[in-house]
Structure 1
């Protein structure tokens, strides 16, 4: 009876050992299968996200270029304020000279009329 019991225990241990070896041998395969399944499901979505991110990056680069160009234009305008002030002074001077010429012309016309009175009929 003891031998039968021993055989039963040995069979039980060998069955457990065989089951453990089977699980250990197949576990990497199951893990790789699950990994492949996950990649197959999520890869199209990841590829779409990557394409979207690249598109957003291109749009952002365009916006950054536009802002930098606008900042450069504003800086150049600020630097050219000296020229605008010079133009303003020259225009004011030109207006003053024109007024002087008009005044001088008006006086000379009045003097000529005083020298040559209009003929009466």
Structure 2
């Protein structure tokens, strides 16, 4: 029985030493496994993180440029508000110029009509004959009046150009 007790004890001691050795091996190698996992994680995650950082810096630069553009536009709008009086003055001057141009055109058209009417009046004042008796002469007078009218309209058109 003592042999049996010794063999049981020996088996228990052997199992216990194996477990202690195994645990010591795990504890001793645990940091290297952790470092391996960390290295693996860094290797996989580092390139995308660097790419993202580059993208963020690029977007930041673009955003900064757009902010400067907006500040410039706001400044331009503020200066337009300061120019309101000058623009109103320009608008009033343009209205006056358009009105004066319309008046000149009206006067020019009125003169053309009065010149045309006065030619007819002058021509009819000189012809006081009763032309019904002289049918041949009335055709000549009518043709002459048409020619004079045509010449007057040409002269008026060439002077207005």
- TM-score bin, normalised by smaller chain: 0.5 to 0.7
Residue segments in structure 2 that go unaligned for 5+ positions in a row = 105-161
Write the deviation string for residues 29-58 of structure 1: whole angstroms up to 9, x where unpaired: 101011111211221221111111111111
Say whether residues 1:22 and 2:2 are aligned partners.
no
Aligned residues: 98
Q: Distance in 1 between matches of 2:24 and 2:9?
A: 22
Aligned to 2:7: 4
What TM-score does the superposition give when structure 1 sets the normalisation length? 0.68
Aligned to 2:87: 84
Deviation at 1:88, TM superposition (A): 4.4
Select which of 28, 41, 56 maps to 1:38. Answer: 41
Deviation at 1:86, TM superposition (A): 4.3
Would you identify which runs of 4 or more consecutive aligned residues in structure 1 move more than 6 Å?
A: none
Say whether residues 1:60 and 2:43 are aligned partners.
no
Worse-superposed segment, 39-48 or 14-23: 39-48
Larger-Rg structure = 2
Q: Which has the higher contact order (CA 8 A, sep 6+)?
A: 2
Q: Distance in 1 between matches of 2:57 and 2:13?
A: 63
Aligned to 1:72: 75
RMSD: 2.4
